[in-house]
Amino acid sequence: MKDPILTRIENGWVHAEGTTLGADNGIGVAAALAMLESNLPHGPLEVLLTIDEESGMSGARALEPGLLQGQLLLNLDTEEWGEVYVGCAGGVDVSLSRKLSTEPLAAGFDVFEISLTGLVGGHSGVDIHLERGNAIRLLARVINAACRDVEARLVSFNGGTLRNALAREAFAKISVAACDARRLAEIVGSHQALFRDELAGTDPHLSIALKPSVADLVPVAAHARLALDMLLTLPHGVRSWSKSLAGVVETSNNLGVVSVSNGRFEAVLMVRSLKNIRMRELADAIAAVGRLGGCVVEEEGEYPGWTPDLKSTALALIENVYQQRYGKKPKVQVIHAGLECGLLGAIYPKMDMVSFGPTIRGAHSPDERVEIASVASFWELLADTLAAVPKA
């Protein structure tokens, strides 16, 4: 009511102006509410709306056994029309933090701000295999090159916005001996060219800018180096691929949010895996890196994966409905992202589940958009599936 999302339609897609659209999961909510208002045929119907799905799944965690009566769950939370999902990764957030000692900026040193922007970003699960640039890691590489080549020190760093979004932008301040300012500009310029070549297929609009700045206090040299080493060492990207599901990521990590400011280092990472044991292994490795760096390590938001069942009655039902309407079967998939089905299945172990939705691109970023034609098809499939559910 106060700050409505302003939308626009462009080439058959709905976009939002200057923010994320919220089609993930707003379009699923809209379809569920529309079905409640419709006169379309269906049997007894329950609609479950949960809060906080993107940042902790606290709504699903708080669901009580016995509240739901249905045995079939149509989860309206996937982003590729024509695909039906029957499994998902579990996940856990790992946070690292420590105090950094500071001292006054030394005489003869100037401070500059380096900004790295223009990356595509995206969802840390469904887009992690695309090997798009991570602004945090890329900017750390620039600063490391500067520290290797001239007398420089990390002063501050801020990158990423969400633990489950690929970092699109990062900003840092570094101190440099005044005599090395020109060389710093050369290093920044060369890395922009290097990264544009390195990421030509994924992030063609990457930009690195340098401008003068100010700072009164800087981390002491050892702590500045430690913070930078953490950014260079913490894992990011695909860790392993599934051995049983071709082309499916098994385990990954997203270096999501980093801050070096006011005498503190903080980092938030999100680990995902189809196998809980692999998730645990990678989370433990990140924690070990944190402890080596003197960090306090905290974990939260752990949730289980959803184990695929290719003999599911729900899958057979929706495949049959899809076949009848579109003359072919949908593509059955497992998603490397956190659907609530894993948690819901733990609370309701007899629940038979599938997940589907319209085509959404750029979820969790200002580039988010939903394809209008796919929403119409998604609605048809939802209506036909509910009508086809066998009556008890």
Q: Which residues contact 214 (CB under 8 A, 6 or more apart)?
A: 111
The pLDDT confidence band at residue 392, using thresholds 50, 70 and 90, is low
Instruction: Give per-residue pLDDT as tens, 94-106.
Output: 999 999 999 999 9
Distances (CA, A) of 221 to 102, 217, 227, 267, 325: 9, 12, 10, 20, 66
Calculate the alpha carbon distances from 103 to 106, 218, 227, 278 in Å.
8, 6, 15, 41
343: nearest Cα among 148, 58, 132, 114: 58
SS (H, E, C) 32-95: HHHHHHCCCCCCCCCCCCCCCCCCCCHHHHCCCCCCCCCCEEEECCCCCCCEEEEEECEEEEEE
- Neighbouring residues of 357: CB distance < 8 A, sequence distance ≥ 6: 27, 28, 76, 77, 78, 79, 80, 81, 378
Amino acid sitting at position 73:
L
Q: Is the pLDDT of residue 45 over 70?
A: yes
Instruction: Answer yes or no: is pLDDT of 345 > 80.
Output: yes
Query: In this structure, what token pair is assigned to residue 88?
Result: 């998902």
Q: Which of 221-235, 337-351, 362-376 has the highest mean pLDDT?
A: 221-235
pLDDT recorded at residue 76:
96
3 state DSSP class of 246: coil
Interval 69-114: pLDDT, tens: 999 999 999 999 999 999 999 999 999 999 999 999 999 999 999 9
Q: What is the pLDDT of residues 145-170, one digit of tens each?
A: 999 999 999 999 999 998 989 999 99
Domains by residue range for the chain, with CATH: 7-89+306-388 (3.40.630.10), 92-303 (3.30.70.360)
Structure-token match 């990678």, residue found: 282
**Amino acid, res. 5:** I
pLDDT reported for residue 351: 94
Look-up of token digits 């000692």:
101
Each residue's pLDDT tens digit, 348-379:
999 999 999 999 998 878 899 999 999 999 99
pTM: 0.78
| Rounded average pLDDT over 190-211 | 96
What is the mean predicted confidence (pLDDT) over 173-190?
Answer: 96
Q: Taking the CA atoms of 379, 384, 387 and 391 in sequence, report the sign of the dihedral they define.
A: negative
Burial (CB count within 10 angstroms: exposed 0-12, middle 13-18, buried 19+), residue 295: buried
Task: Note if the bond before 158 is cis, omega within 30 degrees.
Answer: no
Closest among 97, 115, 73, 17 to 368, alpha carbons compared: 17
The model's pLDDT over 115-145, given as tens digits with 9 standing for 90+, comes to 999 999 998 988 999 999 999 999 999 999 9
What pLDDT is recorded for position 130? 94
> Confidence band (pLDDT; 50, 70, 90) for 339?
confident
Task: Return the pLDDT at 4.
Answer: 86
pLDDT at 391: 78
